[in-house]
């Protein structure tokens, strides 16, 4: 059961992860911008701290450990990369309305188990809700990044989760259009490129140009 009790309770302990954070975690553009999985553990931890899915102290502890044992850094990076791949596969399977590849769900489910535990704590004016981290900071961060996708599946609009139609892009995005029929992550870039390609194909065809290219071939 997933309820939205994970909303931050006190300011000092706030990490409200949104679906946008999750998508940013999954997307890397052609120029290599986006989630820094191809860099190093430092860059990944910086990103986690920036998105408030990891406490700075936790990140610093991991940096310290990695400095002493490089193997640990490699293992942590592999964990992040594996979950990222699995979560992307789950998002793609939602968008493409097909079953996910074997193993992806297991990986995501394992990550979800490492999420924080909710507990009641006394406060000056009664009782408040706090959370306790159970796994290590990276497991916790990964669980938090998987959370919004689960919430969208259980109580949101999973049919609005889309993969950009541009094959060189393939960004995961949330379709906020009125009709829910958007095909590109961004109309200004990928959408425009597709429109220009269609226009070129039509122009070629109507001027009897190079009909050999598949683009210019008449519709069957
Ligand atoms: Zn795109």
DSSP conformation letters of 121-184: EEETTEEEEEEE--S-HHHHHHHHHHHHHHHHHHHS-GGGEEE-S-TTT--EEE--SSSS---S
The Cα 209–Cα 220 span in angstroms is 18
C-beta of residue 45 within 8 angstroms of C-beta of residue 63: yes
Query: What spacing in Å lies between the alpha carbon of 19 and ligand 1's midpoint?
Result: 17
Query: What spacing in Å lies between the alpha carbon of 141 and ligand 1's midpoint?
Result: 26
Q: How far from 204 is each of 123, 196, 207, 210, 211, CA to CA, in Å? A: 72, 12, 5, 7, 8
The Cα 162–Cα 170 span in angstroms is 9
Q: Give the pLDDT score at 114.
A: 79
Query: What spacing in Å lies between the alpha carbon of 161 and ligand 1's midpoint?
Result: 13
Instruction: List the structure tokens of 138.
Output: 């990276």
Q: Give the pLDDT score at 137.
A: 87
Using CB atoms within 10 Å of the CB of residue 124, give its burial: 0 to 12 exposed, 13 to 18 middle, 19+ buried: exposed
The tens-digit pLDDT sequence of the chain (220 residues) is: 333 333 333 334 446 799 999 999 999 876 667 888 877 899 999 999 999 999 899 999 999 999 999 999 999 999 999 999 999 999 999 999 999 998 999 999 988 887 767 788 898 889 988 777 667 889 889 999 999 999 999 999 999 999 999 998 999 999 999 999 999 999 899 999 988 888 888 887 777 655 444 444 444 4
Residues near ligand 1 ion, CB 5 Å cutoff: 164, 166, 169, 171, 185, 190
The Cα 215–Cα 151 span in angstroms is 41
């Amino acid at each position: 059961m997933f309820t939205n009790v994970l909303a931050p309770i006190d300011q000092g302990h706030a990490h409200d992860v949104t679906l946008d954070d999750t998508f940013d975690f999954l997307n890397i553009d052609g120029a290599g911008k986006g989630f820094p999985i191809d860099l190093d553990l430092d860059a990944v931890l910086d990103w986690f701290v920036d998105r408030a899915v990891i406490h700075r102290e936790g990140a610093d502890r991991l940096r310290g450990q990695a400095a002493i044992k490089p193997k640990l850094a490699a293992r942590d990076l592999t964990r992040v990369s594996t979950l990222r791949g699995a979560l992307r596969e789950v998002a793609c399977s939602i968008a493409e309305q097909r079953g996910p590849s074997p193993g992806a769900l297991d990986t995501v489910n394992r990550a979800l188990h490492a999420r924080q535990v909710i507990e009641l704590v006394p406060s000056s004016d009664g009782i408040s809700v706090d959370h306790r981290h159970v796994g290590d900071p990276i497991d916790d961060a990964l669980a938090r990044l998987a959370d919004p996708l689960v919430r969208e599946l259980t109580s949101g609009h999973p049919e609005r989760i889309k993969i950009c139609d541009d094959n060189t892009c393939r960004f995961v995005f949330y379709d906020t259009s009125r009709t829910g029929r958007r095909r590109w992550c961004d109309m200004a870039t990928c959408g425009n490129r597709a429109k220009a390609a269609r226009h070129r194909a039509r122009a070629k065809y109507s001027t009897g140009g190079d009909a050999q290219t598949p683009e210019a071939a008449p519709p069957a």
